[in-house]
């Protein structure tokens, strides 16, 4: 059984005991424990169930590479699925539950799947469930889906906060083991700005666990001294609990800081996503131990040798009383030594190598522990718990020589450098046959903006597995990167590490070498996804030969650990199956993040109101306080209508229309874009930007203008006013101001840069308030100031002056067909002017109106709306706007495009009015017109569509505008619009101007 | 996350402060252009695997456009320069030739 | 070819599955073919399959520089829908969708087509009108869609937040017969069927040149030797420009990186595919339980198959607004694919200036859903040599004529 030892544990604080909940049971651990170590200390070795076969799963590893021991953590708005017990620091009242098991982890109904595992080989989905056809959707898929997935999905919004942090440094060092510390020391002393990240709470990595010495003393002493020195350097930042998550182009990287995961009651954000720009990045991320591939290697109790020793030394937790070590290298023996030193039994060491003559094996032998060389694990025995192992010759097919009872099996298949961060941005690897590992190839690094490599790898991540060369590599790489970042490296550092020398590893990819198909089906490569040796061999046999094919066909390496433990072992089996060399088979692509990061951290604090901040007009708050029923318009909010308590939205719209046409309506038009175009060449420039001739516009006058893309399509419209001989004020649509301003700048800067023109987007400098209706002039005259008479300020003119004591510019323009003034005042005076109008207008029946009223009134007048009548495929000629396209100008944006054959096609759909034959009917939004014929491909022939459709309270019937094939030539004809509920609405084609066609009302 | 030097304000700028504007040095063909020239101008793009000249705007900064020479496969940036030019500057072309001897050179 | 079935699996289980044969052969190139397809992605393999199935042309090679299905076919978010606005698009995507329905049976390979339904959220009044328009058009085009209420949206997808502070859900365009499929299986299934018809799927074979004589294509040069043909189909997505160079013509294309990500797998919580175009995000849950999320494209040309992180941030923010529970999931992996985008963001299935050489490209961010329809149309074009049927409107000449197929009208984002 696994248990807590009476003394020791370098990371736990025995004075601080904590209680926590595991599957509803109250257990005890210590501060400094991980959830994994605390569970082991309580003899909890069965943690969850695997993905496909629901096999019992225990703790395998001690770090983020853990594939098995994933749990649901927390509850309600703090619940999170798939948390690794090995990276979860214990805290008081932590609450965790097993996953993928029902009703319980000990008795899981779906566990019967493993009995069927023989008929569920890799890719079996692809070969079956083919008949009957409907059954996949209705029967098979739902069952498979329910069985899949790991943890439960969170149900409620997230209670936590997240934030970003930006850092620009000379050197980002990832990994706080001795290599990372050494590199940081080098760079820090040289004066470089250094950011050193360590994913765990502790510095020093494996060196203290594995008994390395530096300068003749325990490695921990050097680590402490070094940390103290680095901590004292103003140019060095140390961050523990912060993982280097991803490396991106041009020296950009992300760091994932877990601020309160270990202390959920603490204030502040839960995670912080560091967004780092570094001149050089050093990945000192260490290495990960590989499992060995033998039958039953997934039974709880089979663990990585290094993990067993981590639990012993760091947490004083025994993983079992009676241990068998299976290894193909010397390093694994450290676990036997640690187990023995803790007063526990080591039943045997099974070393697959022909001989084990290194210092570590000799030390083990000297303790009287039997060391069997040339031997392999024939099978691990047990179901939910390991009971024994059987031993065979590595060279054979697995004839059992001996059975050894044990409750923990520590396995070491050698080490793989963690090369993820090197590889994320294109760093290449080479195969080191001696050490049986992929190492970074320094000749093919990821390239930065200047074309030089910007990532270096140091220590174990660089393929150095002994403390002496790890420390040296840390200094060397630190020196190199320091120089590359533009600093003088200073005198060399003399610190030396020593560790017991080791004999070489012998690559062992399956145990025993000649294992038959039956054993292959019980030998796991990917523990979480239940991928076995037999699956990879099957994939190869069926032609899924590329490593990517094998991965996708078998799902090897696609689980939440992304193959940290399984990829190399799987690759080796694939290479063997194909009779190829490992490096020729290649690796799959390493994709960020190194280890999963919370979506919350990726979103940061840009959520809720901050997700996309709302632009507010100067009148926004008044509108909100006075019944404004907001709709989003570009980044703004505009009132759809002002709803009174006793009326519906549509009643409000009707009231606003009728009142505006009878009395006065007040519209906040501040969101309209306003762009100043100024300079000696402004007229020439305006003639290019607009289809109209703008250079001839007289000072003091306004003109309605159209802008097209170079592709000929109508993109924006608005009224242009000529402020003086070289200054124009261009109004754009509410959504168009930034786009149009950028568009103007693009042409001025990149095409006509010799033209003398400036532009300025002054949209937010002005409040613009439309005073609309037959009594509009009465109101302005009452407010006093400029002469707004028809003689002094005629239609399509503007005046500068004062109204009611506020500096104002009044435009005589109308989008409603009524007498109308748009008054621009400084934004800071906007609310005052609005208030004044509301107050003074009361006697004239003034009411504010919203966007829907505006839409209906403009449709009654047949005015087009960008976005309704246009959709990016409509040219002005389609809309009967040829009058606004200058024939005299040599060129303007879009002119050439409009000459192309399709643009000149007489059959283009063109704008008309549409009046439902039945006055009670309204054509639905988006309806298409048909002529009753069927096209060759069976589609009903469409001859037009509606673009705007409303009930007109003014006229008392439905009105619409639409684009119809040959429409303007078909006045008076009737066409049919099928509706989605199967009806047909018949409408008469008519002039789009329904209201006041002579324009008498607006021009008084 | 690209990092480019804006030649107008001299700053190193994150991609998030920039707006990408597509291929640079395209000749505008307006009224009077042939069908083929006009199609080329609007739609035909070089899209090379390798050295590419392109436009950027420092939109959340000085607001100015500039040009960059960049490799589309390694994302190496050979240099940035004024948008008010019809062809890339000679020293930049020389530099790229040196770094990429196989490059066929700038063609309009 | 031995047929796949539950019975075959049971039979093989007895023998520890040692009896399965190769899914597709590993042939050496022949000196000459009736037709050669460059590119063994979904579109290329589907083209070959329908050349054989519909036109009896089986002396065909499909050459692939990497491994089959290794490009965008294996990198996309597997959404299948046909709720397009413009007639030519609706026709080809609906053809594709209907072929997906029977693909598993046609190919004897389970591609796990899951018609779970696709909804596109309307989050502004403008979008409401746009999707109502699409629903009207689809009704006439024979594509089954409808515009549904926010309450129905919530019913179909309970994890959606309807009343986000910024963009409330006002309704959705719902295509009940849209869905997803297992992307790799589509390529593998076609490859197996093509191989079974006697076609040569030649992997690890890079095309280095296109030979021609008198304006007619005569063959290709590859790293595995020269192959002659009078009919050449180029179906290579992001690499189209490169191949067009070899053929001596240009294309109105740009290649950019498109990103996607998946979360860690969780138990089923979302039975439909949701696309939110206003906030730029789309999400579905795979059969394994991962939330599959589509991101945006970079604005600059790139062939790196990786993208900029800030697009992911924008996508994830948008999704958290729409699905608040996403915040407590973890991102497992993100990656990029190179997509080829045309001037109107619609594909090209066309003759080229080089006689006998045809091109199928420009699927941009939406190619997976089109694979069978695209192959069907390309096969028709290649066998007849005439621009007709489904491909008729997708010719290269449309750019000069100004005759665009612009879908951004309805949905202006990656799909």
Q: Please give the domain boundaries of chain C with CATH numbers for all domains.
A: 30-78+183-252+344-401 (3.50.50.60), 104-181+254-342 (3.30.9.10)
Residue from B47, B51, B76 whose CB has the most chain C CBs within 10 Å, to mutate:
B47
In a domain, A1003, yes or no: no
Type and span of the H or E element at A741? helix A737-750
Average pLDDT, rounded, for chain C: 93
pLDDT at C411 over 60: no
C-beta atoms of B1 and A250 within 8 A: yes
C-beta atoms of B83 and A896 within 8 A: no
Task: Write the CB contacts of C86 (distance below 8 Å, at least 6 apart in sequence).
Answer: C346, C405, C406, C407, C409
φ and ψ at A491, to 5 degrees?
A: -65, 145
Give the pLDDT confidence score for residue A112 in this predicted structure: 64
Dig out the tokens for C340 from the structure.
């080829």
C-beta atoms of C9 and A562 within 8 A: no
- Using the 8-state DSSP alphabet, how is residue A605 labeled? T
Higher pLDDT among residues A325 and C11, named by residue: A325
Helices A533-541 and A567-578 pack at an angle, to 10 degrees, of 40
Q: Say if C28 is an interface residue toward chain A (CB within 8 Å).
A: no
Give the pLDDT confidence score for residue C413 in this predicted structure: 35
User: Are residues A854 and A873 both part of a single domain?
Assistant: no
Name the pLDDT band for C374 (thresholds 50, 70, 90).
Answer: very high
Give the pLDDT confidence score for residue B14 in this predicted structure: 95
* CATH number of the structural domain spanning residue A918: 3.30.1360.120
In a domain, A567, yes or no: no
Is A126:A53 a contact under the CB 8 Å cutoff?
A: no
C-beta atoms of C251 and B44 within 8 A: yes
C-beta atoms of B72 and C343 within 8 A: no
In a domain, A509, yes or no: no
User: Are residues A3 and A117 both part of a single domain?
Assistant: yes
- A131, closest residue in chain C (CA to CA): C105
C-beta atoms of A896 and B29 within 8 A: yes
CB pairs under 8 A between A and B: 72
Nearest to C317 among A151, A534, A611 (CB): A611
C-beta atoms of B2 and A897 within 8 A: no
User: Are residues A652 and A706 both part of a single domain?
Assistant: no
User: Are residues A123 and A7 both part of a single domain?
Assistant: yes
Q: Say if B46 is an interface residue toward chain A (CB within 8 Å).
A: no
Q: How many helices (H) and strands (E) does chain B have?
A: 2, 6
Which superfamily does B3-99 belong to?
Answer: Folate-binding superfamily (3.30.2270.10)
User: Are residues A329 and A399 both part of a single domain?
Assistant: yes
Q: Quick one: three-class SS letters along C125-147?
A: HHHHHHHHHHHHHHHHHCCCCEE
Contacts of C343 in chain B (CB under 8 A): 42-43
φ and ψ at C281, to 5 degrees?
A: -160, 150
User: Of A837, A858, A879, which residue is a domain's last?
Assistant: A858
Helices A830-841 and A776-783 pack at an angle, to 10 degrees, of 110
Contacts of B70 in chain C (CB under 8 A): 300
C-beta atoms of C300 and B43 within 8 A: no
In a domain, A945, yes or no: yes
C-beta atoms of C70 and A548 within 8 A: yes
Domain encompassing residue A893: 863-990
User: Are residues A323 and A454 both part of a single domain?
Assistant: no
Q: Say if A138 is an interface residue toward chain C (CB within 8 Å).
A: no
The tens digit of pLDDT for each residue in A78-116 reads: 899 999 999 999 999 999 999 887 777 777 777 666 666
User: Are residues A662 and A796 both part of a single domain?
Assistant: yes
Residues 78-97 on C with a CB inside 8 Å of A are 87, 91
Type and span of the H or E element at A351? strand A345-351
CA distance A753 to A748: 5
User: Are residues A267 and A358 both part of a single domain?
Assistant: no
Other chains touching C, judged by 3 or more CB pairs under 8 Å: A, B
CA distance C406 to C86: 7
User: Are residues A343 and A378 both part of a single domain?
Assistant: yes
Is A604:A597 a contact under the CB 8 Å cutoff?
A: no
C-beta atoms of B73 and C303 within 8 A: yes
**Alpha-helical runs (H) found in C6-124:** 6-14, 42-55, 87-107
Distance from CA of B101 to the nearest CA of A (A): 15
Please count the structural domains in chain A.
6
In a domain, A871, yes or no: yes
Q: Say if C163 is an interface residue toward chain A (CB within 8 Å).
A: no
CA distance C169 to C124: 8
Q: Say if B3 is an interface residue toward chain C (CB within 8 Å).
A: no
Q: Say if B101 is an interface residue toward chain A (CB within 8 Å).
A: no
* CATH number of the structural domain spanning residue A408: 3.50.50.60
φ and ψ at A811, to 5 degrees?
A: -105, 135
In a domain, A998, yes or no: no
Q: Say if B44 is an interface residue toward chain A (CB within 8 Å).
A: no
φ and ψ at C335, to 5 degrees?
A: -155, 170
Is A706:A690 a contact under the CB 8 Å cutoff?
A: yes
Omega before C215 cis (within 30°)? no
CA distance A301 to A319: 8
The tens digit of pLDDT for each residue in B18-56 reads: 999 999 999 999 999 999 999 999 999 999 999 999 999
Q: Quick one: three-class SS letters along A628-639?
A: EEEEEECCEEEE
Give the pLDDT confidence score for residue C406 in this predicted structure: 87
Average pLDDT over residues B58-71: 97
The tens digit of pLDDT for each residue in C29-77 reads: 999 999 999 999 999 999 999 999 999 999 999 999 999 999 999 989 9
Give the pLDDT confidence score for residue C61 in this predicted structure: 98
Name the residue among A426, A431, A489, A430 with its Cα closest to residue A455: A426
Dig out the tokens for C100 from the structure.
């997906």
User: Are residues A126 and A54 both part of a single domain?
Assistant: yes
In a domain, A549, yes or no: no
Contacts of B35 in chain A (CB under 8 A): 900
Dig out the tokens for A852 from the structure.
């829907």
- Using the 8-state DSSP alphabet, how is residue A139 labeled? I
Residue from C120, C194, C202, C264 whose CB has the most chain A CBs within 10 Å, to mutate:
C264
pTM score, whole prediction: 0.95
User: Are residues A771 and A627 both part of a single domain?
Assistant: yes
Name the pLDDT band for C238 (thresholds 50, 70, 90).
Answer: confident
CA distance A130 to B27: 56
CA distance A569 to A554: 14
- Whether this model's ipTM surpasses 0.90 comes out as yes
Name the residue among A420, A503, A412 with its Cα closest to residue A461: A420
**Alpha-helical runs (H) found in A274-389:** 305-315, 333-341, 359-366
- A425, closest residue in chain C (CA to CA): C306
Name the pLDDT band for C414 (thresholds 50, 70, 90).
Answer: very low
Give the pLDDT confidence score for residue C225 in this predicted structure: 97
Q: Say if A146 is an interface residue toward chain C (CB within 8 Å).
A: yes
Q: Say if C325 is an interface residue toward chain A (CB within 8 Å).
A: yes
**Which residues of chain A register pLDDT less than 50?**
none
Name the pLDDT band for C167 (thresholds 50, 70, 90).
Answer: confident
Three-state secondary structure call for residue A95: strand
User: Are residues A906 and A984 both part of a single domain?
Assistant: yes
Distance from CA of C212 to the nearest CA of A (A): 32
In a domain, A582, yes or no: no
SS3 content of chain A, % helix, strand, coil (to 5): 25, 30, 45
Other chains touching B, judged by 3 or more CB pairs under 8 Å: A, C
Is C354:C249 a contact under the CB 8 Å cutoff?
A: yes
Residue with tokens 């595991």: A22
Do the bridges between strand A957-965 and strand A909-916 make them parallel or antiparallel, or are there none, so unpaired? Answer: antiparallel
- Using the 8-state DSSP alphabet, how is residue A514 labeled? T
C-beta atoms of A750 and B65 within 8 A: yes
Dig out the tokens for A859 from the structure.
């449709």
């Amino acid at each position: 059984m696994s248990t807590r030892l009476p003394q020791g544990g370098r990371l736990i604080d025995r004075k601080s005991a904590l209680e926590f909940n595991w599957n509803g049971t109250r257990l005890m651990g210590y501060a400094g424990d991980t959830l994994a170590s605390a569970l082991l200390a309580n003899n909890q070795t069965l943690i969850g169930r695997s993905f496909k076969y629901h096999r019992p799963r225990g703790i395998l590893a001690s770090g983020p590479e853990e594939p098995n021991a994933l749990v649901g953590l927390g509850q309600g708005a703090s619940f999170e699925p798939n948390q690794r017990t090995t990276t979860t620091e214990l805290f008081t009242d932590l609450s965790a539950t097993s996953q993928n098991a029902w009703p319980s982890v000990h008795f899981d109904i779906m566990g019967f799947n493993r009995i069927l595992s023989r008929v569920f080989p890799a890719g079996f989905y692809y070969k079956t469930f083919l008949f009957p056809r409907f059954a996949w959707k209705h029967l098979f898929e739902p069952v498979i889906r329910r069985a899949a997935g790991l943890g439960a999905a969170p149900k409620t919004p997230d209670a936590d906060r997240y934030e970003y942090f930006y850092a620009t440094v000379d050197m980002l060092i990832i990994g706080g083991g001795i290599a990372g510390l050494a590199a940081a020391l080098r760079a820090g002393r040289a004066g470089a700005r250094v950011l050193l990240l360590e994913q765990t709470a502790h510095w020093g990595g494996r060196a203290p666990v594995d008994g390395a010495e530096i300068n003749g003393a325990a490695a921990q002493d050097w680590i402490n001294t070094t940390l103290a020195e680095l901590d004292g350097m103003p140019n060095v930042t140390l961050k523990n609990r912060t993982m280097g998550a991803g490396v991106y182009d041009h020296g950009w990287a992300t760091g994932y800081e877990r601020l309160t995961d270990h202390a959920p009651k603490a204030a502040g954000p839960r995670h912080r996503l560091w967004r780092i720009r570094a001149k050089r990045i050093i990945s000192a991320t260490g290495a990960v131990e590989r499992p060995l591939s033998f039958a039953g290697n997934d039974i709880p109790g089979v663990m990585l040798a290094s993990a067993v020793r981590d639990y012993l030394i760091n947490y004083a937790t025994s993983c079992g009383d009676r241990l068998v070590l299976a290894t193909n290298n010397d390093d694994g023996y450290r676990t036997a030594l640690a187990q023995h030193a803790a007063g526990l039994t080591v039943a045997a060491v099974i070393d697959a190598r022909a001989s084990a003559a290194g210092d570590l094996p000799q030390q083990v032998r000297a303790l009287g522990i039997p060391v069997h060389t040339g031997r392999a694990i024939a099978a691990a025995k047990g179901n939910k718990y390991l009971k024994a192992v059987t031993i065979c010759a590595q060279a054979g097919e697995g004839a059992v020589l001996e059975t050894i009872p044990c409750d923990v099996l520590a396995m070491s298949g050698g080490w793989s450098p963690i090369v993820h961060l090197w590889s994320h941005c294109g760093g290449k690897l080479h195969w080191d046959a001696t050490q049986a590992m992929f190492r970074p190839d320094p000749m093919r690094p990821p390239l930065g903006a200047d074309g030089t490599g910007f990532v270096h790898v140091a220590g174990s991540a660089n393929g150095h597995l002994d403390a002496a060369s790890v420390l040296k590599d840390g200094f060397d790489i630190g020196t190199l990167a320091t120089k590359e970042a533009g600093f003088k490296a200073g005198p060399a550092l003399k610190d030396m590490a020593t560790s017991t020398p080791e004999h070489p590893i012998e690559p062992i990819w399956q145990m025993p070498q000649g294992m038959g198909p039956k054993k292959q089906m019980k030998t796991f490569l990917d523990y979480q996804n239940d991928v076995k040796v037999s699956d990879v061999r099957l994939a190869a046999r069926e032609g899924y030969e590329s490593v990517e094919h094998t991965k996708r066909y078998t799902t090897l390496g696609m689980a939440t650990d992304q193959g940290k433990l399984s990829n190399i072992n799987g690759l080796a089996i694939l290479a063997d199956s194909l009779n190829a060399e490992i490096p020729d088979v290649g690796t799959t692509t390493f994709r960020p993040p190194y280890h999963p990061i919370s979506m919350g951290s990726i979103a940061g604090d840009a959520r809720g109101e901050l997700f996309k901040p709302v632009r507010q007009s100067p009148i926004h708050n008044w509108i909100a306080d006075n019944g404004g029923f907001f709709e989003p318009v570009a980044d703004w909010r505009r009132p759809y209508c002002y709803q009174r308590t006793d009326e519906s939205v549509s009643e409000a719209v009707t009231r606003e229309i009728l009142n505006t046409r009878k009395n006065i309506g007040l519209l906040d038009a501040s969101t309209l874009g306003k762009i100043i175009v100024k300079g000696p060449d402004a007229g020439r420039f305006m003639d290019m930007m607009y289809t109209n001739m703008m250079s001839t516009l007289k000072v003091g006058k306004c003109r309605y203008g159209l802008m097209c893309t170079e592709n000929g399509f109508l993109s924006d419209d608005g009224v242009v006013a000529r402020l003086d001989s070289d200054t124009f004020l261009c109004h754009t649509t509410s959504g168009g101001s930034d786009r149009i301003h950028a568009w103007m700048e693009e042409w001025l800067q990149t095409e006509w840069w010799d033209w003398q023109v400036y532009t300025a987007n002054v949209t937010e400098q002005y409040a613009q308030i439309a005073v609309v209706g037959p009594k509009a002039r009465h109101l302005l005259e009452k407010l006093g100031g400029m002469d707004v008479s028809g003689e002094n300020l005629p239609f399509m003119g503007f005046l500068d002056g004062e109204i009611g004591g506020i500096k104002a510019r009044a435009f005589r323009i109308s989008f409603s067909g009524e007498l109308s003034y748009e008054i621009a005042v400084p934004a800071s005076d906007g609310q005052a002017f609005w208030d004044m109008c509301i107050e003074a207008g009361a006697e004239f029946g003034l009411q504010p109106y919203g966007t829907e009223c505006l839409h209906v009134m403009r449709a009654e007048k047949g005015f087009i709306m960008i976005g309704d009548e246009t959709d990016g495929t409509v040219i002005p000629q389609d809309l009967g706007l040829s009058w606004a396209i200058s024939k005299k100008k040599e060129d303007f944006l879009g002119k050439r495009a409009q000459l192309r054959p399709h643009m000149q096609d007489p059959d283009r759909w063109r704008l008309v009015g549409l009046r439902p034959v039945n006055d009670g009917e309204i054509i639905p939004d988006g309806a298409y017109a048909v002529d009753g014929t069927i096209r060759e491909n069976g589609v009903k022939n469409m001859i037009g569509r509606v673009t705007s459709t409303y009930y007109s309270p003014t006229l008392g019937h439905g009105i619409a505008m639409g684009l119809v094939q040959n429409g303007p030539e078909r006045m008076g004809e009737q066409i049919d619009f099928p509706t989605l509920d199967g009806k047909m609405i018949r409408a008469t084609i008519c002039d789009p101007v329904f209201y006041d066609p002579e324009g008498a009302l607006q021009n008084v | 996350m690209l990092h480019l030097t804006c030649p107008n304000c001299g700053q190193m700028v994150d991609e998030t402060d920039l707006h990408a504007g597509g291929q640079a040095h395209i000749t505008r063909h307006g009224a009077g252009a042939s069908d083929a020239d006009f199609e080329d101008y609007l739609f035909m793009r070089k899209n090379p695997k390798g050295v590419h000249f392109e436009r950027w705007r420092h939109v959340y900064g000085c607001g100015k456009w500039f040009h960059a020479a960049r490799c589309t496969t390694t994302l190496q940036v050979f240099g940035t320069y004024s948008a008010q030019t019809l062809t890339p500057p000679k020293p930049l072309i020389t530099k790229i030739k040196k770094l990429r001897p196989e490059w066929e050179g700038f063609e309009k | 070819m031995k047929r796949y079935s539950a019975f075959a699996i049971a039979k093989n289980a007895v023998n520890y599955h040692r009896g399965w044969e190769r899914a597709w052969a590993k042939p050496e190139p022949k000196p000459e073919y009736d037709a050669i397809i460059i590119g063994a992605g979904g579109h290329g393999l589907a083209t070959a399959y329908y050349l054989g199935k519909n036109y009896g042309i089986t002396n065909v090679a499909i050459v692939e520089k990497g491994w089959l299905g290794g490009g965008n076919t294996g990198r996309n978010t597997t959404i299948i829908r046909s709720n397009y606005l413009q007639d030519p698009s609706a026709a080809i995507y609906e053809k594709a969708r209907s072929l997906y329905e029977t693909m598993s049976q046609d190919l004897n390979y389970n591609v796990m087509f899951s018609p779970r339904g696709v909804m596109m959220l309307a989050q502004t009044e403008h979008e409401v009108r746009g999707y109502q328009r699409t629903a009207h058009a689809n009704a006439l085009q024979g594509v089954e869609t409808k515009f549904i209420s926010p309450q129905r949206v919530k019913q179909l997808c309970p994890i959606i937040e309807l009343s986000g502070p910024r963009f409330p859900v006002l309704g959705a365009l719902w295509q009940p017969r849209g869905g997803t499929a297992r992307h790799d299986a589509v390529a593998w299934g076609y490859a197996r069927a093509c191989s079974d018809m006697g076609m040569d799927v030649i992997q690890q074979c890079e095309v280095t040149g296109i030979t021609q004589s008198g304006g007619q294509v005569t063959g290709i040069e590859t790293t595995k030797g020269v192959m002659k043909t009078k009919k050449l189909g180029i179906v290579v997505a992001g690499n189209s420009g490169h191949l067009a160079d070899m053929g001596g013509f240009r294309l109105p294309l740009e290649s950019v990186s498109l990103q996607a990500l998946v979360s860690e797998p969780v138990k089923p919580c979302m039975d439909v595919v949701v696309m939110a175009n206003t906030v730029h995000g789309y999400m579905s849950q795979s059969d394994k339980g991962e939330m599959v999320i589509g991101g945006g494209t970079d604005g600059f040309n790139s062939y790196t198959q990786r993208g900029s992180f800030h697009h992911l941030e924008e996508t994830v923010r948008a999704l958290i607004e729409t699905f608040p529970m996403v915040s407590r999931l973890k991102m497992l992996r993100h990656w990029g694919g190179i997509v080829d985008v045309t001037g109107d963001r619609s594909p090209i299935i066309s003759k080229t200036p080089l006689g006998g050489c045809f091109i199928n490209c420009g699927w941009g961010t939406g190619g997976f859903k089109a694979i069978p329809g695209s192959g069907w149309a390309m096969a028709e074009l290649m066998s007849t040599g005439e621009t007709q049927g489904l491909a008729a409107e997708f010719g290269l000449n449309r750019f000069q004529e100004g005759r665009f197929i612009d879908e951004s009208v309805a949905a202006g984002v990656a799909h």
